[in-house]
Structure 1
Amino acid sequence: MLGSTACYLALALQPQLAAAHEPLGQSADEIIVYGRALDKIGEAKTASEGTVGYSDFEDRPLSRSGELVEVIPGAVATQHSGEGKANQYFLRGFNLDHGTDFSASVDGVPVNLRTHGHGQGYLDLNFVIPELVERVDYRKGPYSAQDGDFSSAGSARYQTRDELDENFIELTGGEFDYFRGVVGVSQKLSDTTSLLLGGEFQSYDGPWVLDQDLEKFNGLAKLIHIGSKSRSELTATYYESEWTATDQVPLRAVESNMIDRFGFIDDDLGGDTQRASLAFQTSIYENDGSETDINLYFVDYDLSLFSNFTYFLNDPVNGDEFEQLDSRQYFGGSVKHSRNLASKLDFRTGVEFRQDNINDVGLFNTADRNRLSTVRRDDVTERSGALWGELEYSLTETFRVNGGLRGDYFEADVDAVSLPQNSGESDDTLVSPSLGLAWQVRPELELYANYGQGFHSNDVRGTTISVDPVSLEDVEQVPLLVKSEGQEVGLRFEKGPFRASLAAFYLELDSELVFVGDAGTTEANDASERLGVEGSLFWLPTDWLVLDLGGAYTDANFVGVGPDDKIPGAVESVLSGGALMKFDRLAVNARLRHFGSAPLIEDNSVRSEPTTLVNLSAHYDIQNITFGLELLNAFDAEDSDISYLFESQLSSEASPIEDIHFHPVEPRQVRASIRYRF
C-alpha cells in the first residue's frame, strides 16, 4: 500500500492543521500527508499560495538542488554557467536572473543577496540538501505584508526537518563522472532535545567538452529543544563549491562546426564560493493562543566568478574575460507576534532588521584568471529595517477580509575604493499596503480578490554613482527602492482527493532589472507590466497514484516605450506536471517540464526556442535498502536551458556580430543510487 513507502510531511509546527483536517491517503498504521493535498480553503488568503511537503518531491528526479524551486507551480530553474553558480529563475513572466523579484529563506534565514557582485538579489540555493527539506511554503505576488525585498513575483520559505523517520546514507553514480553521497542522522538527546546532522558531497564533470570539475560539499547541524510552551532550534550550515564553467556559446560557432554543441570559447570560466551560517529560532506559546516567534541569523559568504560574454569585442588582445567578486557578512533578525483580538479577528505583527557588511565587491578585467585591471571595487554597508502588521476579520462564517501594511527603511554607505567620485550615502523609505477578500461560496469552493504593493531594492552602488567606471562619463543615479503594484483574482476548489486553483493577475513594476550581455550583469530599465493567468491541479485518484499539473501564461511588456516594448527573456508560457505511482516496495515517477518561447529583443523579431524535458525515476525497497534509477532528459531533447541575444566577437572575427548565445540542456543520462536506512 501507499502507506508502507511514503514519507510524512511533519506537522509538528501545525497541530491545528493536523486536528482540523483529515489527511489524504491513510492506511491502518500510517498517515500520509502530501503538502499540496492539505486543505487551504478557509485559511489561504490568495488563490496562488500553497505548501509543498517532502512527500511531494522525495521521489522526484532532480538533476540539481536549484530545481527545488520547481516544486512551486509555474516556476522554472535553469542554468547557464556551471552548477556552482546560482540558477536562473523564471516565474510569472519574469526572467528573474538569479533571484531579483523572487525571494527565498531557509529556516528563517534570507538567502537573496543585495548589492551582489554578480546580480541584484542573487539567490544561490546550492547549499540546500533536498533530502533534509521538510516543506516549502510559497506565495506569489505582493499581497502579504510579511514579504519584503525581492518578493514582487513570489516568495518561498524552505523549512528543514527536525528529525528523520530513519537515518540514512545514500550513494549515487551516473554518466559523465557524476557522483553524490549524502547522509542524514537524527538522534534524541533527551525527551525534549534532539539533534539532526546532514552532509553532502558531489563531484561532476558533465557532458561538456571542457570538464566541469565540480566539487561541492554541504553540511548541516540542527539542535531542537521542545519546552512545555516553547520550541527552539539552533542551526548551522556550511557550503563550498568549486567548478569550471562552460558558459553560453554563440550559435554561429556551433553552426559553423567551430565548436561542438557542448563546446566552449573560453576555458578559464567558473569560480568558487563558500557560505557558512548560524541561525537561532524560538517560538513561545501562551495560554491565550498567542504566539511569539524570534529569529536571529549570521551568514559569512564569498564568491569569485569568472565570465566572458563577448570574447574579444572590447579587448582584441587579452579578451573580455572578467572576474566578479563578493565577500560579505550579513546578520539580522525578526520578531513576529500573532494573536486573536476577538473571536473573529486575528492580528499579526512583526519587526525585521538586516545589515550587510560587504567588505569587498568588485569587477576586474582578467585573462587566464589573472587580474589585469580594476573596473570597480567597493566597500559597502547596507542596512534595512521593517515594521509590518496584518489583520484578518471574518465578517461571516464564509466571508473573510484581510489587510496589511508594511513599512521599510533602507540606508547604505558606499566607499568606492577604485573611483572615489562614486562614493556616497543613500536612504529610502517605502510603505506597502495590501488588501484581500476570501468568499467560501460552497464548502469545496472559495473565491479570492487581492491587491498589494511590494518592491525590490536596487544595487546601492547605482544610487551613489556619479561617473561610469569605464567611460568616465556622467551617469544618472537609480532609486534605492522600486515599487511594484499588483492585483489578483482567483479560485480554489477542494473536494475529496482533488485540488485545483486558478488565478489571473496583473503586476506593474516601476523599473525592470534586465540582463546586459556585454556587462554580464543587470541594470535598471523602464517600467513594466504583466498580465497573466495560471492554474494548478493535484489529484489522488487511487491510493497508489498521485497526479499534478501546473501551467501559466503571461504577457510582459515595458510601459511607455512605443511599439518595441517586449521584455527580453520574459518566458510567456510554462507547463509542468507529473505522475507518481507508489506500491508496497516500488515507486515510479515521471515529470514533464516545458517553458515556451521568449522574446530576446524588444521588437520581438528574435525569439528563443521552447524547451521541453521529461525525467523519469524508479525506486525499489528491499527491507532497509532502497535502489534508485533516474533517467534525465529521457527523450534526449536538444533544447536550450537559456538563450540571449547580444553582440560578441570571436578571435577570428574582424568586427562584432549580433547573435543568439545559448546554453544547451544536458543530454540523456542515467543515474543509479542505493540508500541504506538505519
Structure 2
Amino acid sequence: MIKRLPILALAYLCLISTVSAQDLRGRVLDENNAPVPGAYIIHQDSEHHAHTNPSGYFVLPGVAVGQTIQVTHVGFESQTIEITDLSREITVRLKETSIQLDEVVFSQDINPVQTLSRVDLKLNPVNNSQVILRKVPGLFIGQHAGGGKAEQIFLRGFDIDHGTDINITVDGMPVNMVSHAHGQGYSDLHFVIPETIERIDFDKGPYNADKGNFATAGYVNFQTKRAIDKSSVTVEGGSFNTTRTVGLFNLINETKNHAYVAAEYLSSDGPFESSQNFNRINLMGKYGLTLDDGSDISLIASYFTSQWDASGQIPVRAVQSGQITNFGALDDTEGGTTSRMNLALNHSKMINDKLYIRNNVFYNTYDFELFSNFTFFLEDSVNGDQIRQREDRKLFGAESAVTYSDYFSGGDYALTVGVGLRSDFSNDNELAGTKNRDSVRFVTQRGDITEGNYYAYANFDLNLNRLRINPGVRVDYFRYLYQDELTPEYDPNSLTAAVVSPKLNFIYTASDQVQVFLKTGIGFHSNDTRLVLERPNNEQILPQAFGADIGGNFKLAPRLLFNAALWYLRLEQEFVYVGDAGIVEPSGRTARRGVDVGIRWQAIDWLYFDSDFTYSYARSIDDPEGENLIPLAPRITTTAGLSVEKNGFAAALRARYLQDRPANEDNSVVAEGYTILDLNANYKFNAFTVGFLIENLLDSDWKETQFDTESRIRLADGSLEAEPVSEIHFTPGTPFNFRGFVRFTF
C-alpha cells in the first residue's frame, strides 16, 4: 500500500489539474494598444494552441493555474506567461522588434501572404501616397496628369486603367468609384496619409467571397493605425520646389481609449517646364474605444482636397522634331481639382467563444473636375479638343458579417456570413468640350446617376488535419438609374441585374516549411450605368471573370522564403482605353495566363533581399491571331530590393523593371519598357530621424505612361499638320529627384 501512495498522489494531482483546467480568454495588443491579429498562442503544457482574430482576441482551452503559455508573432518579441488567474481575461502586450524570417512558419490558420506583407511594409515604409499600391507584389503604377489624378494600374497582364479590375478599400471604405466621370472603377488613393498605414491586406485573383465588384485581378485593403504611442512632425523638401509637412498627434492612448489626428500638406512644381502648381491637403482623425462587453468601436473622419496643372500626354513626333522637350507641353491648360470627405464607423465584438461579429458603415462626399486634351486639334481645328470631365458624388454603404468559428480556440472550422449595401449618387456627371478651362464649346453627356449594389456572401473554412478547404459564394444585385439632363423632360431610365460568384479553394500545409494551394473562383466587374442603359439587351451588364491559381509557399532555408503561382484568368468582357475621347469602352472576351514568383531572404540579421517576378500572356479571344494582343498589357515585370536595418540606421535600394509591351492590337506600335532605381536612407537618434529619398537614382530617360493615340497638332510655325497621325503619346517619367526630411518625435 505504501508503495502505491506516490502513484495515487500523482493520479490525484492529474485529476485536480484536469478538473481545474479551463478556457483561457485573452487579447494580444501591441505597444500602441492596437490589436495584433494572427498572433500564435501556444499552451506549453499540452498540444493546444490558438491564434488571435482581427480584434486580437483568442480562446485557449485546457489551461490550469500555474501553467504557461507562449505568445509569438513575426516582428514582435515572444512572451512566455505563467497563468495565475483564469477568472478574468488577460491582456498581452507585445513589443515590436526587428523582423526575423526564421520565425515565419506556414499554418493553415494564418495567411502567409499577410505575414510577408507585414515584413515588406516594416522594411520599406511608405511615405508617398502615389506609391502605396506598389506594396502589392507585381503591381505597377503610372502617373500621367500632374500628380493629382489617380494612378494608372498594371497587374497580372491587365492595364487596369484607374481601377477597373482591382478592388481597393481603406478601413472597409471603397475607393473604386462606379460610373465615374473619367472611367469605371476610378480609384484615387491620395486621401490616405501614408504614415497612418498599419497593415496591407491583399490577394490576387477572384477567390475571396467577401470581395465583390472589381475583384477580378485582385483586391487591396489598407488598414490605418488604431492608435499611436507618440506624436511626430515631419518636414520634407527637395527637387522641383517640392515641400511636404506631416503631423501625427497622439491625443489619447489608454488601454480602452485611443485617439489621434494626422495632417499632411504637399506642394510641388514638378519636373515640367510648365509648373504643375500641385498642392494637396489631408486631414484625418481616428477615435477608438473598447467597451466592457468586449466591443471595439472606431470612428474615422477625414478630408482631402487637391488641385494641379498638367502638361498632358505629348506625341513622340513633337519631341523628335525639336518642337518641345520631353518635359514640354502642347497644351499646358490641362489639370484639375478634386476633394473627398469620409466618415466611417467600425464595430466588432466577440459575443462568445465562437461567435464574432463586425459591422461598418460609411458616408463619403466627393467632387471631381478634370481637364484633358488627348488629341489636340483632331476634332476642332480652331479651338482644340480639350475636354472636361466632372461630377459631384455622395456615397453611402454598410456591411455586417458574423463569424461562427472555433478557430480562435485552435479548432477546425469557421463560417462567415455577411450582407451589405452600397449606394452611389453622382450628380452632374458630365463630359464637355472646353477651351482654356473656362469656355464650354459643347456638352456631350450630363446627367444624374444613381447606382445601388446589394450583396450577401457566405464563406466556410474547414481544416482536415493539414488540408484546409474553403468554399464560398457571393450574390450581388445592382440597380441602375440615369436621368439625362440634356433631354427636356424628366424621364429616368432604369435597369436591374444580378450575378452569382462561387469560390472553392484548397490549401495543404505539408509542414511548417511547405504549403501548396489550388484556388478557383468567379468574380466580376460592373459596367458604367450609362453603357448598361444604352444596351439593355447586352448580356455583359456584369461581365464575369473565371480564375484559377496553383502554387505554393516554401521555406527553403531558415531565412529564405519562396512563393510561386501559375494562374489563369478569363474575362467575359474587357475594357479598352479610347484616347481620342478620353473614355473607356467595353470590348470582347479576353484570356490571360502567367506565373508569379517571389523571394524573401534575410542574409544576416540586418540585411534583407526581396524580389517579385511576373510573366503574363494576355490575348483577346474573339480577334484573329496577330491582331488579338491587348494594348498596354504588361508582359514581364520585376521588382527587387536590398534593405538594411541596424542600430537606428535603415536604408533600401530598390529597382523596378517593366518590359516593352504592345500599344495596339497587332504590336505595330510598342510602349517602351524601363528600369528605375530608387534609394532611401534614414538615421534615428534620440527624438530625431533624418533621411532622404532619391527617385530615379541613375537619372534614366523613361516614359511613365504611354498610349497609342491619333492626334493632330499645331506646329512650331503656327500651322496645323496636314493629316492626323497615330503614334505613342506619353508622359515622361520623373528624372533624378532628391528629397530630404527631418522628423521629430515627442
TM-score (ref. length: structure 2): 0.85
Moved more, 227-236 or 309-318: 227-236
2:745 corresponding residue in structure 1: 677
Map residues 222-237 of structure 1 onto 2, 5 A cutoff: 222-228=286-292, 229-237=294-302
In 1, distance between residues paired with 2:121 and 2:511?
31
Shift of 1:622: 2.3
Shift of 1:105: 0.7
2:403 corresponding residue in structure 1: 338
Deviation readout 1:324-358 (Å, 9 max, x if unpaired): 01211010110011112794221111001010011
Is 1:387 the counterpart of 2:448? The answer is no
Is 1:42 the counterpart of 2:42? The answer is no
TM-aligned CA distance change 1:12 to 1:400, over 3 Å: closer
1:23 corresponding residue in structure 2: 74
Which residue, 659, 668, 674 being the options, matches 1:596? 659
In 2, distance between residues paired with 1:201 and 1:276?
16
Shift of 1:41: 3.2
2:499 corresponding residue in structure 1: 430
Map residues 482-561 of structure 1 onto 2, 5 A cutoff: 482-494=543-555, 496-561=558-623
2:437 corresponding residue in structure 1: 369
CA contact (8 A) 1:208 1:263 kept: yes
Is 1:566 the counterpart of 2:629? The answer is yes
In 2, distance between residues paired with 1:557 and 1:531?
9
CA contact (8 A) 1:530 1:554 kept: yes
TM-aligned CA distance change 1:476 to 1:436, over 3 Å: closer
CA contact (8 A) 2:679 2:693 kept: yes
In 1, distance between residues paired with 2:479 and 2:543?
14
CA contact (8 A) 1:61 1:617 kept: no
CA contact (8 A) 1:52 1:137 kept: no
Which residue, 368, 371, 395 being the options, matches 1:303? 368
CA contact (8 A) 1:8 1:31 kept: no
Tell me which amino acid in the other structure corresponds to 1:656: P
TM-aligned CA distance change 1:478 to 1:394, over 3 Å: closer
In 2, distance between residues paired with 1:146 and 1:81?
33
TM-aligned CA distance change 1:640 to 1:394, over 3 Å: same
1:470 corresponding residue in structure 2: none
CA contact (8 A) 1:120 1:522 kept: yes
CA contact (8 A) 1:378 1:417 kept: yes
- What is the aligned length? 662
Map residues 235-384 of structure 1 onto 2, 5 A cutoff: 235-340=300-405, 343-370=411-438, 371-384=440-453
TM-aligned CA distance change 1:556 to 1:627, over 3 Å: same
Shift of 1:25: 7.3
Q: Identity of aligned pairs, percent? A: 32
Which residue, 189, 192, 196 being the options, matches 1:128? 192
Deviation readout 1:39-87 (Å, 9 max, x if unpaired): 4531367x8x535666634664868412111101000111011111100
Deviation readout 1:538-592 (Å, 9 max, x if unpaired): 2223221122111100000100211110000101111111111011121111111
Is 1:12 the counterpart of 2:12? The answer is no
In 2, distance between residues paired with 1:181 and 1:112?
27
2:231 corresponding residue in structure 1: 167
In 2, distance between residues paired with 1:504 and 1:72?
17
TM-aligned CA distance change 1:569 to 1:44, over 3 Å: farther
CA contact (8 A) 2:345 2:360 kept: yes
CA contact (8 A) 1:230 1:284 kept: yes
In 1, distance between residues paired with 2:231 and 2:686?
14
CA contact (8 A) 1:462 1:477 kept: no
TM-aligned CA distance change 1:655 to 1:79, over 3 Å: same
2:159 corresponding residue in structure 1: 95
Tell me which amino acid in the other structure corresponds to 1:490: G
2:645 corresponding residue in structure 1: 582
CA contact (8 A) 2:71 2:78 kept: no
CA contact (8 A) 1:24 1:497 kept: no
2:481 corresponding residue in structure 1: 413
In 1, distance between residues paired with 2:100 and 2:481?
43
Deviation readout 1:157-178 (Å, 9 max, x if unpaired): 1000012232100000001100
Deviation readout 1:107-164 (Å, 9 max, x if unpaired): 1101100000001000000111111100100011001111100110010110000122
Deviation readout 1:275-311 (Å, 9 max, x if unpaired): 0010000001122232100000000000000000000
Which residue, 665, 675, 685 being the options, matches 1:612? 675
TM-aligned CA distance change 1:66 to 1:280, over 3 Å: same
- Classify the secondary structure of the residue corresponding to 2:240: coil
Tell me which amino acid in the other structure corresponds to 1:378: G
- Classify the secondary structure of the residue corresponding to 2:662: coil
Which residue, 442, 448, 472 being the options, matches 2:511? 442
In 1, distance between residues paired with 2:531 and 2:74?
50
In 2, distance between residues paired with 1:61 and 1:135?
11
In 2, distance between residues paired with 1:614 and 1:9?
37
Map residues 585-664 of structure 1 onto 2, 5 A cutoff: 585-651=648-714, 652-664=720-732
CA contact (8 A) 1:9 1:55 kept: no
In 2, distance between residues paired with 1:360 and 1:35?
53
CA contact (8 A) 1:51 1:138 kept: no
2:65 corresponding residue in structure 1: none
TM-aligned CA distance change 1:586 to 1:444, over 3 Å: same
Shift of 1:521: 1.3
- Classify the secondary structure of the residue corresponding to 1:318: coil
TM-aligned CA distance change 1:449 to 1:52, over 3 Å: closer
CA contact (8 A) 2:301 2:342 kept: yes
In 1, distance between residues paired with 2:561 and 2:275?
44
TM-aligned CA distance change 1:515 to 1:44, over 3 Å: farther
CA contact (8 A) 1:219 1:237 kept: yes
Tell me which amino acid in the other structure corresponds to 2:519: N
In 2, distance between residues paired with 1:544 and 1:112?
38
Gaps of 5+ in 1: 1-5, 467-474
Moved more, 262-271 or 7-16: 7-16
CA contact (8 A) 2:462 2:468 kept: yes
Q: Which has the larger radius of gyration?
A: 2
Higher RCO structure, 1 or 2 (CA under 8 Å, sep 6+): 1
Moved more, 629-638 or 24-33: 24-33
Shift of 1:459: 0.2
2:242 corresponding residue in structure 1: 178
TM-aligned CA distance change 1:106 to 1:166, over 3 Å: same
CA contact (8 A) 2:662 2:671 kept: yes
Shift of 1:672: 0.6
Moved more, 340-349 or 176-185: 340-349
1:471 corresponding residue in structure 2: none
1:469 corresponding residue in structure 2: none
Deviation readout 1:429-466 (Å, 9 max, x if unpaired): 00010001111223310110111000000001011127
Shift of 1:31: 3.3
2:540 corresponding residue in structure 1: 479
Moved more, 262-271 or 601-610: 601-610
